[in-house]
Structure 1
């Protein structure tokens, strides 16, 4: 019997303990399960290139976006499908995705990608610091950027679209926005890096360019999120939280506009 595909949330029974006593009720948790990404191309059998913990949903987009951010592909994959190997356990049935390319990747994935990471992992698996600092080469965004008045509205617009967060309070979110503040795609995941991968992947799977005026994220702007924004060809990164020193350094080098501490009242531009 086929295993039911996992959803983004699961039900659980909880005991809520407050000053006025105990209350038992049903609650929802954000689902966290492993996803193994395999890569194949003509003449090369499928091989594992990454394993991450993620919230199920938009798995094909996550895989496509991750490949773009790692600089392994420049064109949409030929096919993306759940693996159907006979030796998969029922628990693995919807947790293994195979991406097949029409030709070889832009570089050999190598041994360093055949690893695993947590849902919080962004640049895990890099062999050297220099390699982690080297963002994949992508054309810079040549269109308009959002002005400060638009930038300050973006986190609230993102928050209004966070359906899984409303149900669980346990996921991050990312969105691609136009210079006028329209959200083109919104994705949620227990891993903030995964949410960004899903946003880029949604564009790639739809046959659209991954870049855009602004990437909006619900948390801080760490180096790895700046790296993904640069790899996708985004013009600005807008974060609710603070950036790190390496994030600012990379944004400056790459010509990415970087905003942090963004609320309706203010935003701080770092690059």
Structure 2
């Protein structure tokens, strides 16, 4: 007997017509040895197929929101396009099993993409799935521009609290990461959320690139560890300051030193650790 669910993926909010980012489920909650049946809110996780010029490139598990931002950010941080203008079209096509993001990019970029012979299958939080060589796995972006915005310790900690207050999906589900942009004045101006930490950063970068933001005049704050790929994505587009709630990896620190990215970890109330290039934090 086929017990497979026939519920379409992703679900669509009947009120807004947009993809639902969460679902409501009945659960048995146990506390102090007592059980109660209650309604819980859980984050949606949907396969997102990224296609370039009709060819499938990657399937990522992601939250089905801000997918245009995700498409542009992923294209930039993976080096598939060099500028937003090289992404000519982006169409979001829902299906029963997930969402197709159909993009058309410049011919020379598509030729270069095919030569890489990469065919990713991404999982939530997965960074380098599908890289075929060591050279593909560890890319070395050029150093970010000298100078750029500087911040005080007080601005950094205040921005962390601002970001947390704007994580609506995390507050509802407890299951998502966020990436936020702190502008040169120290305020949080944009937040993107996703079940995957890489996806949240890609969404943030895509939204900022679409708005023609100067990446040297701000900082990215992330609610995860600062892995190599998080630093690589930031450096690729010219972000010179990245602050993480959790720890970095040793490879991430080496890449931050190499690309002149200020890297701060364990950003919590009244505390943080500077791991690389401290000159942007006063």
* Residue 225 (structure 1) aligned to one of 230, 233, 240: 230
Tell me the equivalent position of 1:81. 91
Tell me the equivalent position of 2:19. 6
Question: What CA distance in whole angstroms lies between the structure 1 residues aligned with 2:263 and 2:48?
Answer: 30
Question: What CA distance in whole angstroms lies between the structure 1 residues aligned with 2:39 and 2:150?
Answer: 44
Tell me the equivalent position of 2:218. 213
Tell me the equivalent position of 2:275. 270
Q: Any unmatched runs of 5+ in structure 2?
A: 1-7, 13-17, 277-282
Tell me the equivalent position of 1:234. 239
Aligned pairs for 1:50-89 within 5 A: 50-76=58-84, 77-83=87-93, 89=95
Of 120-129 and 230-239, deviating more is: 120-129
Question: What CA distance in whole angstroms lies between the structure 2 residues aligned with 1:205 and 1:182?
Answer: 19
Instruction: Give the 3-state SS of the residue equivalent to 2:206 in structure 1.
Output: helix
The answer to whether the 8 A contact 1:235-1:256 is kept is yes
Instruction: Give the 3-state SS of the residue equivalent to 1:105 in structure 2.
Output: helix
Question: Do structure 1's residue 191 and structure 2's residue 196 form an aligned pair?
Answer: yes
Of 134-143 and 242-251, deviating more is: 134-143
The answer to whether the 8 A contact 2:144-2:260 is kept is no
Question: What CA distance in whole angstroms lies between the structure 1 residues aligned with 2:143 and 2:79?
Answer: 9
Tell me the equivalent position of 1:121. 126
Question: Structure 1 residues 69, 79: closer, same or farther in 2, change over 3 A?
Answer: same
Question: Do structure 1's residue 178 and structure 2's residue 183 form an aligned pair?
Answer: yes
The answer to whether the 8 A contact 2:180-2:192 is kept is yes
Note the aligned Cα RMSD (angstroms).
2.2
Tell me the equivalent position of 1:43. none
Question: What CA distance in whole angstroms lies between the structure 1 residues aligned with 2:61 and 2:55?
Answer: 18
Deviations 1:164-218, CA, capped at 9 Å, x for gaps: 0010000000011113221222100000000000001112333445554211001
Tell me the equivalent position of 1:101. 105
Instruction: Give the 3-state SS of the residue equivalent to 1:49 in structure 2.
Output: strand
Instruction: Give the 3-state SS of the residue equivalent to 1:196 in structure 2.
Output: helix
The answer to whether the 8 A contact 1:238-1:259 is kept is yes
Question: What CA distance in whole angstroms lies between the structure 1 residues aligned with 2:267 and 2:181?
Answer: 16
Distance apart, 1:131 and its partner CA: 2.9
Tell me the equivalent position of 2:161. 156
Of 253-262 and 145-154, deviating more is: 145-154
Q: Any unmatched runs of 5+ in structure 1?
A: 41-45
The answer to whether the 8 A contact 2:226-2:246 is kept is yes
Question: Structure 1 residues 211, 33: closer, same or farther in 2, change over 3 A?
Answer: farther
Question: What CA distance in whole angstroms lies between the structure 2 residues aligned with 1:142 and 1:100?
Answer: 35
Tell me the equivalent position of 2:48. 35
The answer to whether the 8 A contact 1:221-1:239 is kept is yes
Question: What CA distance in whole angstroms lies between the structure 2 residues aligned with 1:141 and 1:161?
Answer: 31
Question: What CA distance in whole angstroms lies between the structure 2 residues aligned with 1:128 and 1:39?
Answer: 22
TM-score (norm 1): 0.88
Aligned length: 259
Deviations 1:132-188, CA, capped at 9 Å, x for gaps: 222344753642222222223332221111000010000000011113221222100
Distance apart, 1:12 and its partner CA: 0.5
TM-score (norm 2): 0.85
Deviations 1:36-56, CA, capped at 9 Å, x for gaps: 00112xxxxx11111100011
